[in-house]
Structures are given as structure tokens and as C-alpha cells.
Structure 1
Amino acid sequence: MQRLSSLILAVVGVLYPFIVYFGMEHMSTPLFAMLLGAIWLIRAPALMRQPGGRWMLGAALVYCMFLAVSGESVVLRWYPSLICALLLCAFGLSLRYGPPMIERIARVTEPDLPPAAVRYTRKVTWVWAGFFAFNAITSGVLAVYSPLNLWTLYNGIIAYSIMGVLFAGEWLLRQRLRRRISDAPMNAAAQRLATHPWVEQAHAGYAGKLGAGMVVLLSAAGRMALLRHGRKGLVSELSTQAVDPADTELSAPRMWRFPDALPSVVTRRHVDTCLRQPLPVAPVILAERSTESGHVLELALPLDLACFADHFPEAPVLPGVVQVGWALDFAAARLGTPRQCRSMDALKFQSLLRPGDRVDLELTHDAEKQRLTFAWRRGQTHYSSARMQLETVGV
């Protein structure tokens, strides 16, 4: 009920100028005042628990009572000014006694705001307080001196357009601030990481809402550490190296990417794009060729392959079910075979496939028997193989 009343009150606030302009010919002013007051009363329990909610509720109810008693339709035009005045008081008092209103809102999603963000939220609170003051005065002047259509135009369209510009501008500034806050400590973290024997290159970046991150090109020792300790152990060790004990919150990367290679010139855009992209879920195709009875693909397993993170966190191994699934998928795309099989025999897992491995996938299709044979191997090393009886198309 509280959510519904909040929604109704918000809708009434947005549509109020148009309700006054189009609807008051069909509804008496006292009746409208009673309905508006009833909505505020339904919201009363929630408002009583909010800072300043009591006097905001009291002012709104006094207005509704005055509107009902006077019955003057001109009083209807003062509602937008009243709401802006109440918001001005709320924002202004929060600046006086703290914390600023925008800081309170920001801490709902980010409890640990850095000092720069706290200063920023205070400035934004001042901006909104200024807007509410301007809007209250402008709406009040129009309520007294302008015709109804001009008052409706301003309060129903122009005022909300100004709010939209403020929201958009603030969002852009906030993104710049996020970058500025994260850049300095994260760049320092990248420099510390570059001295670790497991790291060949480290580049700090920003992954949008996911926060700051690090793109790390592993050295030979780092790749060996990934095989021995898994992604979890690797990230744990590198996080310890990256974090500044004096600034733990801002120097701790929230995202990690371990690409197999980086371009000769690494730009910030490349780093940010790398951080925003999900972990790879498929192997990299290095080469492929058709044979008389099938197809052969040369594949590379990315260091950051998504399934390695869970299978297993401290000892990454390509799951057998993934090997079978990839064989079916590649065969379907290259040989036109079904993606499902009815049965499987001669299944063998002989060696482990690990991050960074290069491997050949050999596919052989017997169309007459609807049978697909796959083999994962590299030179004399055999990883897995099986014969699969495929689903018959149309059955």
C-alpha cells in the first residue's frame, strides 16, 4: 500500500498541471483537495520515519485543508511552488546540518564514499537546492500573473525539461568524477603490479558500473602460477601486490582480465573495452581445414576462459562436457550435423587441457551411419576422444 501511494503521489505530482488544466471543469476544488489530502495521509507512516517528513506532511495537509475550505481554483496553482519550497527546505537543511541530501542518496548504493565524492555530492545538493528555489519562485509568479495555459506549459513541460538537463549533466559529471577518483590510485596499483615477477604488463582501466579494473599480461612465471593456483589464487596474490595499505578502497581492482596478448600500443580505450567485455566462453580458432571425411581445427584455450574460473578455482581444467559440447557445435557449423547425440561410446579422457593450451580438434563424420567421431590431440599427446551416435534429423 505504501508503494502504491508513493507511486500515485508521484504520478499526481508529474501530471498535476495537466489535471488542473483539463480536469477541474469536471471536479470541484474541495473534492480534489480531499483526494490529494487522502493520498498524503496514506503516505504519512513512511513520511514520519524520514528526516523532515513530519513538517513536510504537515505543510501539505495544511495546504489541502486551505484548498478545501477556500474552494478557490486559483489556489490549485500554488501546489508546485509548495512542493518545490518543501524540497528546498529539505535540501537546504541537509546542507546546514548534514549530511547533504545527495550524499544520503548516494550512500544507499555506495556506503563508503571517498572524500572527493562527498565533496561532489555536497555541490550537487547545492545545485538542486538552487533549482528548487528558482522553480518555486517562477511557478509562484506564473500562478499569480500568467494565464492558466502558460502556467501549465511551464510546470508541465519546461520545468521537467530543466530537470532532465540537470539529471543528464550530473550523470556525465559523475562518470568523469568516477574516472578521476579511480585513475590515480589505480595507475599507481598498475605500477606496483608491473614489478611482480608474474606480470609482464599491467594496465588500469574502468569497467563502468562494475568499477575500476586491471588488465594484466602474464609473464611465463605468471602463466605457470595460473596453472598451479588457478584464477582465484592468481588474483589473490596480485591483489596483495596492487593494493596500497593506506588507500585500500580505491587501489583495489574490482575486475581482472588476463588476455593472452596485448597490442604493441595499449590505449585506455582498449583497456576499458577489455574490462567491459565478459570472459570468453569459446576457444580461439587459429587455423582450420577440411578433410575427406570431416574437419580439423587448430584451437587455443584463452587464459581467461570463463569455465576455468569454476572448474576448478585453484586448478583450472577444461571440463569434459565442454570438450564434447564444442565438438558437437563445431561439427554442426562445419559439417551440418545435429547438435545433439543419442549415445556415446569409446569415450576417453587421457590428458588435461589447461589455460593457454593449443590443441587440434579432429572431426570425422560418417553420414551413412549418422556417427560423429572427435579427437582432441596435439602431436603425440591425446587429450580426449569419443564416437557419438547423432540424433536423426526429423525424428
Structure 2
Amino acid sequence: MSPTRHGWITTPLTAGLIRGALDLERTERGLLPHRLPARARAQCADPQLHMAESQPSGVRLVFRSRATAVELDTLATKRVYVGAPPRPDGVYDLLVDGRPAGRACVTGGATLTIDMATGTVEHRPGPVATVRFTGLPAEAKDVEIWLPHNETTELVALRTDAPVEPVPDQGRTVWLHHGSSISHGSDAASPTTTWPALAASLGGVELINLGLGGSALLDPFTARALRDTPADLISVKLGINLVNTDLMRLRAFGPAVHGFLDTVREGHPGTPLLVVSPILCPIHEDTPGPSAPDLGALSAGRLRFRAAGDPAERAYGKLTLGVIREELARIVRERAAEDPHLYHLDGRDLYGEADFAELPLPDDLHPDAAAHRRIGERFAALAFAPGGPFANGSG
């Protein structure tokens, strides 16, 4: 660390201060957290995947300090959808000794303009901005800054008014989770209130969130990332993106699930592994994908989605959420005969018909902030509570 303006201290951004990322890329400005390793990123050129994995859901700076003020320079990449309402700025959540202590946003940054009607994307560069937290208690404390879950965030500089040191690894239980945009955070209010972050907090575990918006597609490189990441508990929430993208048929789905689980088990043969099927999503319960933007709603300034498939196509192997739930339950039931640490959770136990009636999906695909809280609380109650699949592994 080195002195800077008015006695402030600049601390180099290193891996010892960052949790929740699988890779850290050195850039011209600083450090870019990634949630997939470089080898995985090199095996797929899909822009959606690259955008999703570079959005630091669950990634946070963690350090110990007596600082009363903290500044973090970042370069965000913000998304703009043509014709849709403006997206809110990404949120930074501050925790002090594990308790919420502040929330902030920054304006500016780069812009990614996405035209859903044409599929075109335009990137415009922008300036670095500074997020500030002041009025922190002067005693020694653990400080966490959770990065925006839905904005690619390049870390440029960390400044404090007192020295910073890494928080030693105290052997906390690590929960590794993979899923779709719902696990990524979709319309959650902030990075600590995505459903996996809430569930991790309630379960007293350390989260590594590989929820990848639009990209939970049974990719072998994602399975290898799960295989190679140290973890005490693992969950995979599968299904909705396979319908969204109309990526495969039933004939391919079952073997792909087996292959995905086989790969994870290569690195974690006895780790509790929970397979979670999709939450309720009425437009795709019985209608295959792909999902498509509702252009009528978009012309009225609202972002909504519709199911573009035909229910009759189920006879030809097209996937619906109902089909996927039945297949996942069957696969886990059969594998569990030889794998006593493999478990299944029906996603409708997290968010079902009664929840949809009370807390409908605003865009017909993604839960809102209140539903994220409900899903996180229910997952914690089902998975981490006594008798749950993660009960013996949680701290």
C-alpha cells in the first residue's frame, strides 16, 4: 500500500482481497473479475455468455481495516435496451462485520446498447467513476464491498484513510452454485439480495455464484469449472435457459445432464450435490421455446417476453419446463441409488403457483426483488435447515 492525497492510502488490488471470482484479468486500468476461468471463456464465443460471466454476481472485496472512509474507483459497463425503460445503475452493498452498513451507485462508465428487435449491440467507452462509503466505525472490522451483480465492473483503485489487510481464510463452508439469470440476480434489488446471496447469508456459508444469465446450458466447460473449484456444497439449477434458447431436444437433454453431473463428480465425488429444477414460469410450463421479446410491449416502453414455440412440438422432443422437471427428477432418482450425496429439489417449492399469483414475474420470465427474497429464504429453509441436503455441511 502507498500514501496518496491528503494522507489516504492506496492498496493494490490483489486476489487476496477478492472473493467469489474464479479468475482475475489484469487490464490496462486495473483488475477485471471473471466468474469463469480463461480456458472456459476461450471455448465459447457467445457474447451473452461473455457478458454474463463478467458481471460479478457474488463477487466482493473483503478486507480488515480501521478505516472510516473507503473509495473504490471502478469502470462499469451498463446495459441499455432500445425501446425499454432505462435500467437502474448497479448497486454496491457495504457490509461491516457481516451486517449491512451502506449502499451506493455510480453513474458514467461504458455503455452496451442492445437492440432486442434486431439483435445488434453497440459498445461505447466511458469514464471511471468512484463509489464512496464514509462514517465507518474507527475500530478494526471486516469490510465487504459487494460489486453490482448485473454490471461488468473493472476494479481500478482502492483507497482508505487507514491501512488495509486481507481477512484470513477461517475455513468457512463454501457453497458453489450454478444457474440461470434468476440465480445470477435478474431483477434483485442489490448484490446481497439476489436469492443465492440471501440463502448463503441465512445458511452461514461462503458463496461462489456461477449463475450465468442466459447461459445455464449444460456446457461442458461450465461443468469443468465446477469440477475444478474447491467447494463443500454444490447446487445446479437447470432448465429454463434450455427452453429460452430452444437449444436441444429431449433426446440430447438426458445424456447432457448425466455428462454434466459426471464431470462435477470427477472433482467432488462425495460432496453434497443438489439438482434444482426450474421455478414456475407460466409461459413455458407447457409451451416450448424459444423465448422472444414481446415487441408490442416493447413499443409501449415495457420489457416482456413470450413463448414462441408451439405446444404440439412437445411430441417431437421439444423441451418445456414440465418435461424438464420430470426428466431431472427421474435422473436424480436413478443416480441416487449409487450416489447417496445427490439430491433433488423441485423449483416450484421455491416459487410456485401461489407465489405467482401474489408476486407475478414482471417480464414473464424473471422474479422481482420481493420474489428473490422469498426464493432465498425458502432455499435456506429447505437446503440448510436440519434434515436438508446441506445441513451437515453448512457452518
Please give the range of the TM-score, normalised by the shorter of the 2 chains: under 0.3
Q: Which has the higher contact order (CA 8 A, sep 6+)?
A: 2
Q: TM-score, normalised by structure 2?
A: 0.21
- Higher normalized strand content (fraction of residues): 2
Q: TM-score, normalised by structure 1?
A: 0.21
- Higher normalized helix content (fraction of residues): 1
